[in-house]
Amino acid sequence: MQELEIPKEILSKYRSLIRYCSDKVNVEEKKELKKAFETAFVAHKNIKRKSGEPYILHPLSVAKIAAKEIGLGALAIKCALLHDVVEDSEIKLKEIENLFGKKVSNIIDGLTKISDLMDSANSIQAENFRKMLLTLSDDVNVILIKLADRLDNMRTLEHLEDRKRKKIASETLYIYAPLAHRLGLYSIKTELEDLSLKYTETEKYFEISRKLNETKNEREKYIKHFLKPIKSKIKKEGFSVSIKGRPKSIFSIRKKMSKQQINFEEVFDKFAIRIITNSSESNEKSDCWKIYSIVTDYYKPNPDRLRDWISTPKTNGYESLHTTVMGPGGHWVEVQIRSERMDQIAEKGLAAHWLYKNNKKDKKEDNLNKWINNIRELLESPEEDAVDFLNEFKLNLYSKEIFVFTPNGELITLPKDSTALDFAFSIHTELGKKCLGTKVNGKLVPISHKLKSGDQIEIISSEKQRPKENWLDFVITSKAKNKIKGSLNEGKKIIAEEGKEVLKRKLKHLKIPFTEKRINELQAYFKLQDSQELFYKIGTGKINNPDLKKYVESRESWYGFFKSKLTRKNNKSEKKESINNSDNVKKILRFGDEKNELEYKIASCCNPIPGDDVFGFITIEDGIKVHSYNCPNSIRLKTNFSYRTIEANWINVDDLEFSAILEIKGIDSTGVVNKITKIISTDMSVEMESINFKSKNGFFEGIVDIMVKNKIHIKKLIDRLKKIEGIKKVHRKLKS
């Protein structure tokens, strides 16, 4: 690399970073850091942040946060310096790998992916979040650097436009602050929360911070008064302590105020202090208890409020002794007593814990790795801890989904309770259809095996495999269901085709002509829905020769009497069934982009028929209601509840008829009603269900209930009717 001209300001910031981590990186690592810094400098050259500063200052700040505030080592600092390089410049991941090795390029890749996920505007936060969490299992450094990145972005958020600020701030509150909390990075968590509040509830933030300032003196005075006798006693006993008024974050005050519906003053009815003793690790526990004893010599403790997190640390590593005592003037004061080491853990989390464990320099990195592994275990373990963890992230809201992987590590989201076969269909329809068996995490399992998050699935397929009827019993995704049904239907169609030919031959044998009428009769006799069903049953042999013979016998005895009745009744009842709101309505609409077959009802306010432009409206109690775009309710529904509407499309339904209402107005003249009914029933062969004409002052108004196939059908009819002399108006009426 040629000699770079790096501005002083930038160079001095870099040097301060190096100074800071000089005790935890060796000479070799320092060289690497320099290389990373120079690579980043070149990559971000001429790029400015929104604040107008050179961009390189951002990765430098992130690296410093990683080193100083999180306590990470050389690898993470290097990656922090490089974290935006691939995203923002021409430099490719491959080059990073060549320059810095696989480990670094993997981490950069993870960071870039998270950014992509977070930035894609139309994806939901929660979805991104989950994926982000899963990236963790690759390398926890990714998440820690991402936190550092976010912290610097939050610190410089004022330079962005308001809308963007709010988005980033709420994302921080929802995703990053809880993550920092879980990882034990308390001061980062607090800062993220406060900064988020500043941009999401600006007024409240400044109000609280103003009041904090205003009451500061008063509070400090009280604490001073409270501490006076204890302090000298502690000194006398030979302890070296520092005492802090416990800072309450603006965010936590805000939370308390809104959660308990109290005002600022009420939040501060309790004072809080922290006594930190500079004790060796071997003495710290007894020292803390000794100090406890001193405090309670002067002030009476509330026995219910004693918490010993020293004997039993919290799962995230927190150690401290808490008590609440009655101070002067009858005020409760919460006292936290802990050692320097415990305080570091409380502020910096487990990173500090591991670093404290062993102070030898070369051991530090090692301990850091242990810590990182520890977090990973925490996140991956199926035990209570992990459940707790998920709850903390409100993931229970999303527990309806699981996340599984393809053999090459691609993440697939499926509904909870999905089976291996659902997975196969989600990858590819053909893979689903030909799915013979599956391997989950390397083990052979049946295709009905229920998957759980984190499973890696391999599908074993066979060209000979075909979808089976019983597959429908265990798949749960609509894609798998539809594809299986579709494919079964296809198979059914072929069988039905064959069955039709078989039936033709058999009827010929029985000397019965193969006519539509006869087919209707057979269909009615065997109580089947349609002729396809009949052919299919013949094709599969479910209806066999003896069955057909029985039909012939019954036909011979009844035919003469019931011929007309049987067929007419059957036709009629089928039609009735197909009308609108009957439960047995055929599914002639498909919904959404995926053309899903869903339960629905036709809205009675507009009664749409095939061909009408329609949409589904998801009602709360009654499932999907299908409305016409012309429906008087449609605009209201579309504008107020657009998120509850779903695209609906008619499928081909030539064999069904639908009820519709015609309104006809015109000049009353002899024979006009006859002309109308002739056109409807004779010329157009449209069935009339009812007809009602009223005449007044030489004009008439008629309402005709008819059965039509679709919109085109009714349009033709209307056009014909309009041609009758004296007819002024013919139109389809929506509401009866």
Catalytic residues, by residue number, are 87-88
Q: Which residues pair with 380 in a beta bridge?
A: none
Least Å distance, CB 153 to Mn ion, is 6
CB closer to Mn ion, 79 vs 424: 79
Stretch that binds Mn ion, among 76-84, 270-278, 289-297, 664-672 (CB under 5 A): 76-84
Q: Is 411 helix (H, G, I), strand (E, B) or coil?
A: strand
What is the SS3 assignment for 73-129? CHHHHHHHHHCCHHHHCCCCHHHHHHHHCHHHHHHHHHHHHHHHHHHCCCCCHHHHH
Contacts of Mn ion in 456-495 (CB under 5 A): none
149 binds Mn ion (CB under 5 A): yes
Q: Which is nearer to Mn ion, 188 or 624 (CB)?
A: 188
Tokens of 167: 């988005």
Measured CA distances, 645 to 86, 586, 597, 694 (Å) = 41, 21, 15, 40
> Measured from the CB of residue 83, what is the shortest distance to Mn ion in angstroms?
6
In the bound state with Mn ion, the residue whose beta carbon lies nearer, of 84 and 139, is: 84
Contact stretch for Mn ion (CB under 5 A) within 42-50, 80-88, 138-146, 168-176: 80-88
Radius of gyration of the chain (CA): 38
Does position 194 interact with Mn ion (CB under 5 A)? The reply is no
Cβ-based nearer residue to Mn ion, 84 or 284: 84
| Measured distance CA(665)–CA(703) in Å, rounded | 9
Quote the tokens at residue 618.
Answer: 């998801």
Out of 32, 69, 84, 139, which residue is the one contacting Mn ion (CB under 5 A)?
Answer: 84
Cβ-based neighbour number of residue 400 at 10 Å: 9
Residue 688 token pair: 């009339």
Residue whose C-beta lies closest to Mn ion: 149
Is residue 709 within 8 Å of residue 687, measured between CB atoms?
no
User: Contact region for Mn ion (CB under 5 A) — 19-27, 45-53, 143-151, 157-165?
Assistant: 143-151
**Residue type, position 534, single letter:** L
Is the torsion defined by CA of 63, 64, 67, 72 positive or negative?
Answer: negative
Whole-angstrom distance, CA of residue 89 vs CA of residue 267: 49
Kindly indicate which of the ranges 79-87, 276-284, 417-425, 699-707 contains the residues binding Mn ion, using the contact rule CB under 5 A.
79-87
In the complex with Mn ion, the residue whose CB is nearer, 57 or 495, is 57
Residues forming beta bridges with residue 690, ordered by sequence position: 705
Q: At what angle do helices 57-64 and 8-21 cross, to 10 degrees?
A: 10
Could you tell me the smallest distance in angstroms from the CB atom of residue 85 to Mn ion? 10
Window contacting Mn ion (CB under 5 A); options: 47-55, 125-133, 145-153, 573-581: 145-153
Nearer to Mn ion, 148 or 648 (CB): 148
Q: Which is nearer to Mn ion, 149 or 191 (CB)?
A: 149
Q: For residues 149 and 194, which CB has a smaller minimum distance to Mn ion in the complex?
A: 149
- Closer residue to Mn ion, CB minimum distance, 69 or 84: 84
Stretch that binds Mn ion, among 144-152, 311-319, 323-331, 571-579 (CB under 5 A): 144-152
Q: Are 294 and 302 in contact (CB under 8 A)?
A: no
Nearer to Mn ion, 60 or 603 (CB): 60
d(CA 199, CA 679): 71
Exposure of 218 in the CB half-sphere (CA atoms within 13 A): 9
Q: Which stretch binds Mn ion (CB under 5 A): 103-111, 147-155, 400-408, 568-576?
A: 147-155
For the bound state, the minimum distance from the C-beta of residue 20 to Mn ion, rounded and expressed in Å, comes to 19
Residues 6 or more apart in contact with residue 367 via CB below 8 angstroms: 354, 355, 357, 358
Span from 81-89, 480-488, 614-622, 632-640 in contact with Mn ion (CB under 5 A):
81-89
Residue-level length of the chain:
736
Our finding on whether 319 is near Mn ion (CB under 5 A) is no
- Smaller CB distance to Mn ion: residue 149 or 455? 149
Sheet with 645-650, edge to edge strand ranges: 589-591, 645-650, 614-618, 624-628, 600-602
The residues near 614 (Cβ < 8 Å, ≥ 6 apart) are: 589, 608, 626, 627, 628, 629, 648, 650
CB of residue 149 to Mn ion, shortest distance in Å: 4
CB closer to Mn ion, 25 vs 154: 154
Sites for Mn ion among residues 585-624 (CB under 5 A): none
Name the percent of the chain in helix, strand, coil, to the closest 5: 55, 15, 30
Of 154 and 276, the one with the shorter C-beta distance to Mn ion is: 154
Q: How many amino acids of this chain bind Mn ion (CB under 5 A)?
A: 2
Select from 459, 472, 464, 466 the least CA-distant residue to 428.
459
Pick from 657, 659, 591: nearest CA to 626: 591
- Rounded Cα distance between 391 and 397, Å, is 9
Q: What residues have CB less than 8 Å from 107, skipping those under 6 apart? A: 75, 76, 79, 139, 141, 142, 145
The nearest distance, CB 118 to Mn ion, in angstroms, is 11
Q: Please state whether 238 falls in left (phi above 0), alpha (psi between -120 and 50) or beta.
A: left
Residues 305/308/313/316 CA torsion (nearest 10 deg)? 20
By CB neighbour count within 10 A (0-12 exposed, 13-18 middle, 19+ buried), where does 713 fall?
A: buried
Region binding Mn ion by CB under 5 A among candidate stretches 77-85, 213-221, 256-264, 355-363? 77-85
Between 545-578 and 478-509, two packed helices, what is the crossing angle to 10 degrees? Answer: 130
Residues that bind Mn ion (CB under 5 A): 84, 149
